Structure 1
Amino acid sequence: MTGKENWDTTTIQKMLKNEKYKGDTLMQKTFTEDFMTGKKRKNIGQRNQYYVKDSHPAIVSPEVFDKVQKEMAKRARLKSKEDGTIETSESKYNGKYFLGNLLVCGDCGASYRRRTERGKVVWRCATRIEKGREACTHSPTLNEGWVQNALTKDVCQNGVYDEGIIRNKVDEIKIFDSYSMVCYKNGGQVKILY
């Protein structure tokens, strides 16, 4: 397509976000600011934009495109609020530790982070780590072994901790003061008491 062997991350991200791949078109993404010089600017609200569905044949299905958008938002830790607006959490996608992408504080919405304390591996709310207990008073510290055992029993159900099974079934795990809520991708939920 471009003749390049290596693709820039930004280029790939722009492609993944481009609605044209699912057969739609957003018109007036840019506009000509000065007709004499031909200078164009990104339209960030200066002009009306128009979204046209099914304007041309799709390369990927709308379902696949929407799943990619959902995964990218999850990795950016964008949070949808009840009023429909979106806010960005301070925590980012964790490529190193699998559980870091699942464990979310039920009190403040931050991700949980992996720590080693007194020779034990534990998970703790990022807000509590960065700003102290006063900033997130109801977030418990979880032992990694307990988390893995609970997921083995309640999600894997085969006696073996399997991140592949968990990744396919679980959307997120909300951590509250006295229990955890496993939120499945199919919409179901399971409460696990400590």
Structure 2
Amino acid sequence: MGKPDIRRIAPKPQRLKRVRVAAYARVSTDHERQLSSIAAQVSYYSHLIHSTLGWEYAGVFIDEGVTGTSTKHRDEFHEMMGSARAGGIDIVLCKSISRLARNTVDLLETVRELRTLGVTIRFERENIDTATADGELLLTLLASFAQEESRSMSKNVKWGIRKKYATGGLHSRQPYGYKYKASDLVIVEDEAEVVKRVFTQFLVGESPEAIAEELNSEGIKPRRGKAFQGQVLRKILENETYTGTVILQQHYRPEIANAAVTVNTGELPRYLVTRSHPPIISPDQFQAVRDELTRRRQLGRGATPSARTCGLTSRIECSVCGRFYHRRTKTRRDKRYKFWWCETATKGKGNPCHAPQIRHTLLTNICADTLGWTEWDDEQALHQLKRMIAHPDGTLTIHTTTSDTPVVVNIHENRQS
């Protein structure tokens, strides 16, 4: 028997496992230079992932114009995390730690969650890979430096803004009707015409909601968003900027991490600057609007009838919880009708007050009969109706300015008649 022939069996070629790779980038402002940097990063990471053997493109996630001190308002960041949780990412590439987070707590929470999901992060500038043993220690140290750098930069920016305020300089104030040209506010003519219209129509008795609805029906759009809202027009009516005057440093951000902007009630100096820029509204018209706003607030929310308010608004009270009745619309097959119901019941948590629903037409007929009118009149209701109290048994106590004795009616009896 001869010598055995021994040959090594070559292993079968392993199928290359493709690694799903994503990248994350962020800039804190919409400045053109930073947006150009973002475009370069997107191009760089897309090419890197597509050209690396064994890598599979899992997306490039970009947040533009958002701060790194919190992850709360970063939509693309949350989309990336959602993809990781769904098992769609194995590696995340990031230019630097500060691009992912300037807050140490947020950074470590993110890294640790991704690690439990089997996802690693590679930070290019710091040359850190969270897959390594010493990755988290380095991250903790470097993230602390990034957080302190962010705090220092924030202080410097705030100092510059406050020095600017002290000399009458504007900062980031670009209300509807104006735009910046160099460092000056200039009038945008078509928007200024809308502003003038809002002030004029308000003074002749229209509500901000009615004006907004009219503008929207004509296809006139705000600078941002799809449609005008009543609350936005109220801010326009209350903004002294339209008279060419500004009050600087009305708000500020406290020196606390992630603090919200708050009203300045004397914590910092405020500055009144007149003839700061061209006016759209005269001081007399602005003061007239201010006086009218005060008058309507004293009368109550329903002081000016509109598409959303009427002479009954804020005048119907629930006898059980004391909240106002709200007007709602109900659709049944092809029929639509308006009705009033206690605010507690309209919140979708049942009807603990046992408050009766009252149809709008029935309620206006009852009030017109009580006040001796031939038909309902919103404007007269503002002056003659004090308040109404709705009871669970269907009775309605009506207090008017024309009589010291309230009138009690039964809505069920009136509905039958």
- TM-score (norm: length of structure 2): 0.29
Gaps of 5+ in 1: 35-40, 76-92
Which residue pairs with 2:317 in the alignment?
A: 105
**Identical positions, percent:** 13
2:363 corresponds to which letter in structure 1? V
Distance 1:190 1:66, change over 3 A: farther
1:13 to 202, 219, 234: 234
Q: Which has the larger radius of gyration?
A: 2
1:48 to 245, 258, 267: 267
Residue 74 (structure 1) aligned with residue 260 (structure 2): no
Q: Relative CO higher for 1 or 2, CA cutoff 8 Å, sep ≥ 6?
A: 1
**Structure 2 SS opposite 1:63:** helix
Aligned residues: 160
Distance 1:70 1:27, change over 3 A: farther
Distance 1:143 1:66, change over 3 A: closer
1:153 corresponds to which letter in structure 2? D
CA distance in 2, matches of 1:189, 1:49: 51
CA distance in 2, matches of 1:94, 1:128: 24
RMSD, aligned α-carbons: 5.0
Q: Contact conserved, 2:252 with 2:263, CA < 8 A, in 1? A: no
2:366 corresponds to which letter in structure 1? A
2:287 corresponds to which letter in structure 1? V
Residue 158 (structure 1) aligned with residue 378 (structure 2): no
CA distance in 1, matches of 2:405, 2:314: 14
Which residue pairs with 2:341 in the alignment?
A: 124
Q: Contact conserved, 2:251 with 2:264, CA < 8 A, in 1? A: no
Q: Which has the higher strand share?
A: 1
- The runs of at least 4 aligned residues of structure 1 exceeding 6 Å deviation read none
CA distance in 2, matches of 1:2, 1:120: 42
Q: Contact conserved, 2:252 with 2:264, CA < 8 A, in 1? A: no
Q: Contact conserved, 1:140 with 1:176, CA < 8 A, in 2? A: yes
Distance 1:96 1:131, change over 3 A: same
Which residue pairs with 1:95 in the alignment?
A: 307
Deviations 1:99-141 (A, max 9, x none): 7735533233143334478x896533242242212x323x233
CA distance in 2, matches of 1:120, 1:13: 30
Which residue pairs with 1:192 in the alignment?
A: 407
**Alpha-carbon offset, residue 26 of structure 1:** 6.8
Which residue pairs with 1:86 in the alignment?
A: none
CA distance in 2, matches of 1:120, 1:18: 38
**Alpha-carbon offset, residue 3 of structure 1:** 1.2
- TM-score (norm: length of structure 1): 0.51
**Alpha-carbon offset, residue 65 of structure 1:** 3.7
